[in-house]
Amino acid sequence: MLELKLAIRFIFNLKKASFSSYASLLTIIGIAIGVAALMLTASIIDGFENEVSNKLAGIEGKGRLKHFLNKPINLDDNLLKPVLNNSNFEINPYVKGVCMIRKGKNLDGVLIEGVRQYPKLVVNENLDYTTKNQIVLGGILASNLGAKIGDKIYLQSFSDAELSFSSSKVFSCEVVHIFFSGLHEYDKNIVYLNIETAQSILGYGSNEVNGLIIEKDDNLPINVSYPYYYETWKERHSLLFEWMLVQQWPAYIMFGLITFVGLINLFAAIAMIIIEKNGPITILLSQGMNDRSLRSVFMLQGGIIGTFGVLIGGIFSVLIISIQTKYSLFKIPQDIYFMDHIPFFFSISKYIVVLIIVCILSIIASWLPTLRFKSLNPSNVLRYE
């Protein structure tokens, strides 16, 4: 294809280096930097959202069924039978309450959660959750209490908070695991116990729970009637995800402007090439090449430059993402961002969208300077060549 050969020759003139050739290379570098910045930004945003989502879903479950008035739920209630008897649902009843916790002279208030099966993010090993009087502590809480695995700690329900530890009912538990979820509030304020132990501490009956943790396929509906309702982990933390969504667009716009600057440079580079190649362009016109074919040459040139820039930017961003994923070089404060390093998640679909958009804009940016062809007079140009 003649137009493609001419486009490549105008970009990379190996026999004679020219200013327009350097301008083309600089344009490729500019687009590559813009695309890399945009893809890294998108990868950080997606990585942060995925990391937070996985942690919240891993520690809270896909969703929870609760009482509208936060009253205890009786597992024998007939309204719950369609849910409890559904084989597609993995049901994990839980009880929850506020307690005081003590280890030696160290005292703190905590939220206890009694479950039949510990969350996977909390306990990723085969820990026997049927044994009573065992407790799982968050890493920050364990550090504050000075507790380690095998130590005895003491729990007292807040319903007896006006009583001293010596005169009220106190429960002794053995620390069997210390978890580090990366979620500061959970690592500091929540402890996990066997559900029977938690029911004894909070004064619940054997069939009384605060709710049901339900693991299920996202496409399966849960039909419950008043006084019960079902809430997913994302609905419970909707404000957090709305905040993350609001933060995305300014970042995309700011780093997208870097790519736009690269496209402006492409416009200038194509214009310089047209000015520099006035003689060859005029010869081609005089030899019978029409304006449409000549425009195709420069539009192909812009498309090639844009494609090279996107590919180089994509390769560079994948390299940075791979290094960060493997070595976690860029650290962030865990108590603020829910994690101790910058997470990345490379989305191939977003990269393809960026590739298509940049290539289309590159072709448009290359087409605009070709409007100058209408003012070219072959006889005048050849006279001064």
**What's the confidence (pLDDT) of residue 383?**
52
Percentage of the chain exceeding pLDDT 90: 36
**What's the confidence (pLDDT) of residue 22?**
80
Of 169, 202, 226, which residue is a domain's last? 226
Residue 25, pLDDT above cutoff 60: yes
Please name the amino acid found at residue 293: S
**What's the confidence (pLDDT) of residue 14?**
47
Q: Is 48 in the same domain as 83?
A: no
Average pLDDT over residues 16-44: 85
Burial of 375 (0-12, 13-18, 19+ CB in 10 A): exposed
Of 159, 192, 226, which residue is a domain's last? 226
Tell whether 231 is covered by a domain.
Answer: no
Tell whether 307 is covered by a domain.
Answer: yes
Q: Is 265 in the same domain as 365?
A: yes
**What's the confidence (pLDDT) of residue 385?**
54
- The domain of 104 spans 72-226
Tell whether 127 is covered by a domain.
Answer: yes
Q: Is 173 in the same domain as 207?
A: yes
Tell me the per-residue pLDDT of 112-154, one tens digit each, with 9 for 90 and over.
999 988 888 787 666 777 778 899 999 999 999 999 999 999 9
Q: Is 169 in the same domain as 76?
A: yes
Q: Is 116 in the same domain as 12?
A: no
Q: Is 248 in the same domain as 281?
A: yes
Average pLDDT over residues 302-319: 92
Tell whether 67 is covered by a domain.
Answer: no
Q: Global pTM?
A: 0.79
Tell whether 256 is covered by a domain.
Answer: yes
Non-local CB neighbours of 230 within 8 Å, separated by 6+ positions: 63, 64, 65, 214, 222, 224
Domain total for the chain? Answer: 2
Under the banding of pLDDT at 50, 70 and 90, the label for residue 379 is low
Under the banding of pLDDT at 50, 70 and 90, the label for residue 313 is very high
Tell whether 324 is covered by a domain.
Answer: yes
Q: Is 370 in the same domain as 251?
A: yes
- Mean pLDDT (the chain) is 85
Tell whether 235 is covered by a domain.
Answer: no
Supply the DSSP symbol for 342.
Answer: -
Residue 316, pLDDT above cutoff 50: yes
**What's the confidence (pLDDT) of residue 168?**
62
Residue 109, pLDDT above cutoff 70: yes
Tell me the per-residue pLDDT of 329-376, one tens digit each, with 9 for 90 and over.
898 887 777 788 899 998 899 899 988 998 888 888 888 887 766 555
Tell whether 64 is covered by a domain.
Answer: no
What is the residue whose two structure tokens read 């890399």? 36
201-215, 276-290, 367-381, range with the lowest pLDDT? 367-381
Q: Is 222 in the same domain as 82?
A: yes
**What's the confidence (pLDDT) of residue 111?**
95
Q: Is 88 in the same domain as 149?
A: yes
Q: Is 142 in the same domain as 82?
A: yes
Q: Is 90 in the same domain as 220?
A: yes
Q: What is the 3-state secondary structure (H, E, C) of 47-74?
A: HHHHHHHHHHHHHHCCEEEEECCCCCEE
Q: Is 118 in the same domain as 145?
A: yes
Q: First vs last Cα of the chain: how many Å apart?
A: 28
Decide: 58 and 215 in contact? Cβ < 8 Å: no
Decide: 108 and 83 in contact? Cβ < 8 Å: no
**Cα–Cα distance measured from residue 248 to residue 41, given in angstroms and rounded to the nearest whole number:** 9
**What's the confidence (pLDDT) of residue 138?**
93
Of 226, 259, 286, which residue is a domain's last? 226
